[in-house]
Chains A and B, each alone.
Chain A
């Protein structure tokens, strides 16, 4: 059974940094692209970033480009999102997702971790 467990969320001041982690199990982690998707309180889903299985290719939404970095440790089956220069509008639940090979659809989701950016 695929399991994705996010951690690292919390309260941070504007301009601050936070690192999210996603521990994966139940599948061959290095074979799958992984993504982060976020959801602001009471709002819709927003794609944030994707990383290939090898980690060699990364993609970002314009809203986070230059501030967020996605990376992975395939030896530890863990996905990360380093978030710098955080803004109030980055406040959201951040979901870790696994993609279907050759499709990119997000077929497995974690329970999410809440990031609150506020002074």
Chain B
């Protein structure tokens, strides 16, 4: 159950777009379309923003989008806003009927 690999940090200016990658293996991201993304502000519980690779829950801005290619999933945030500054985590179902998270990425809005 090794953690998925995410960059430790990314940054962007307001209005720009950024992409966060999430690399797994052929036992998780590469074989299942059960990849989800979570946003967590300091001291708060995580919030689901993308599920099943590219689906947005009701109420989540369409500035958030997800995709997958091979063993790597990606989260793109377009039109960056100050409120997007947070930690972001990916997660995937695995062949062991378990779940695995990425190490998290800190997004800084410059």
Contacts and interface: CB of A to CB of B under 8 A. Distances in A.
Interface of A: 35, 37, 44-47, 50, 59-63, 95, 100, 103-107, 109-112
B62 interface: no
A22 to B, nearest CB: 12
Nearest to B87: A44
Contacts of A61: 1, 98
Interface residues of B, number: 25
Interface string B36-58: 10101000011110011000010
B36 A106 contact: yes
The B contact surface, by secondary structure, is strand
Contact of A44 (B1, B48, B101): B101
Nearest to B58: A107
Given A47-B100, A61-B98, A106-B48, 11 more contacts: A37-B101, A44-B89, A44-B104, A45-B101, A45-B104, A60-B98, A61-B1, A103-B36, A103-B52, A107-B48, A107-B57
Nearest to B3: A44
| Shortest beta-carbon contacts, A-B, top 7 | A105-B51, A105-B36, A47-B99, A109-B45, A44-B104, A45-B101, A107-B48
A15 B52 CA distance: 39
Contact of A47 (B47, B57, B101, B104): B101
A97 to B, nearest CB: 9
Nearest to A60: B98
A41 to B, nearest CB: 12
Interface in B89-104: 89, 91, 93, 97-104
